[in-house]
Amino acid sequence: MRARAELVESILFAANSAELRLPERNMLDRKVALLKANPNVHLKIDGKVDEKEKGADKGKAPLGMQRANAALKYLVSKGIDAGRLDVAATDDTNPKCTTHEEWCWSQNRRVDFTITAGDTITPVP
């Protein structure tokens, strides 16, 4: 169960940024180990923006896609076949947090991961 939770755990971003920070790279490294141990698993990588970023109509979809692509490129650079990864950027109509404050918005600037194939996941040490 923990392996599945690690695969679908979201990564967060700074406001108006698609740069992967060290904690997010560490989380992606755990996903890499799990994906290498489970070649049947495929993921959807979905970039999200926060409420304030949504106000910038020109930047919304591209920023979400930039975030998703940053995660994709990182995983591929670590040896994961891009054919196992689908990328999307969707308007977050169901944000994780809805309070209109910075601490809350920071939870909505993220990339979500969804397992799209491979029900059985073998944990790695």
Would you state the structure tokens that stand for residue 108, as one six-digit string? 């909505």
d(CA 12, CA 60): 16
Rounded average pLDDT over 21-46: 97
Sign (positive or negative) of CA dihedral 117, 35, 108, 19 = negative
Global pTM value: 0.87
pLDDT at residue 72 greater than cutoff 80: yes
Query: Which of 72-76, 95-99, 116-120 has the lowest average pLDDT?
Result: 95-99
| Domains of the chain: residue spans and CATH | 2-117 (3.30.1330.60)
Mean pLDDT value across the chain: 86
